[in-house]
Amino acid sequence: MTVVAEWLERHTASAPPPLRARVLDHAIATRGTGELPVVLARAGREALEQVVQHPGDRSVALDLLAADALITLALLAQAQDAPAELGAFATSILRDVRPGP
C-alpha cells in the first residue's frame, strides 16, 4: 500500500465507505508524485474537474464530495507537516482551482 493510501486509510476511517473508496480512487489515479498535501490537492482538483465536465448530472455527486474531502485532507496534511506554510498552501489551492479569465 502506498504512503498516500495508508495516510488516507487512517484519516478517513469514520467516513462512509462509498466516499472513502471514491477519495482513495481519485488519490490513486492522480498522476505524478510529490509531497502528500500536494498529491491530495491535485487529486481534489482532478475530481472537481470531472464534476465540472458534467454540470447538472447527479451521477457525479460522489465525486463532488470526494473533491471536497480531498481538499480538506490536503489542508490537514499540510497542517500536520508544515503548519507555518498552511496559509500559502491554501492560497495556492484556491489559485489552482479557480477558472481562468
Mean pLDDT over residues 5-18, rounded? 96
Question: Whole-model pTM?
Answer: 0.89
pLDDT for residue 64 is more than 70: yes
pLDDT, one tens digit per residue, over 69-99 is 999 999 999 999 999 999 999 999 988 766 5
Q: What is the dihedral of CA 53, 23, 33, 78, to 10 degrees?
A: 110
Residue identified by cell 498552511 is 86
Gap between the Cα atoms of 70 and 46, Å rounded? 10
